[in-house]
Amino acid sequence: MMGRVQGKVAVVTGGAMGIGAATARLLAEEGASVVVADLAEAEGQALVAELATPGLFLRHDVSSEADWDELARTVTARFGRIDILVNNAAIQIPASIADVTYADYRRIQAVNADGPFLGCRMAVREMARSGGGAIVNIASVASHSGEAGGVAYSASKGAVRSLTKSVAVFCQNAENGIRCNSVHPGVTDTPMLRAMRADLGLEPQSPHAGDPRQVAYAVLYLASDEALLVNGAELLVDSARTVTPPPPKR
DSSP-assigned states of every residue in 227-242: GTT--S-EEEESTTTT
**Which candidate, 8, 10, 37, 33, places its Cα nearest to that of 115?**
37
Q: Is 153 tagged catalytic?
A: yes
Classified as helix, coil or strand, 181 is: strand
- Please tell me the distance from the alpha carbon of residue 125 to that of residue 9, in angstroms, as a whole number: 15
Q: What type of residue sits at position 237?
A: V
Buried b / exposed e along 204-213 (16+ C-beta atoms within 10 A): eeeeebbebe
Closest CA to 55 of 85, 19, 11, 13: 11
Alpha helices (H) in the chain, listed in sequence order: 18-29, 41-50, 65-79, 102-109, 115-130, 142-145, 151-174, 191-199, 212-223
**Bridge partner residues of 180 (DSSP):** 135
- Active-site residue, selected from the candidate residues 102, 105, 153, 221: 153
Residue pair 75/35 in contact by the 8 Å Cβ criterion: yes
Query: What count of other Cβ atoms lies within 10 Å of the Cβ of residue 158?
Result: 17
Would you name the residues annotated as active-site residues? 153
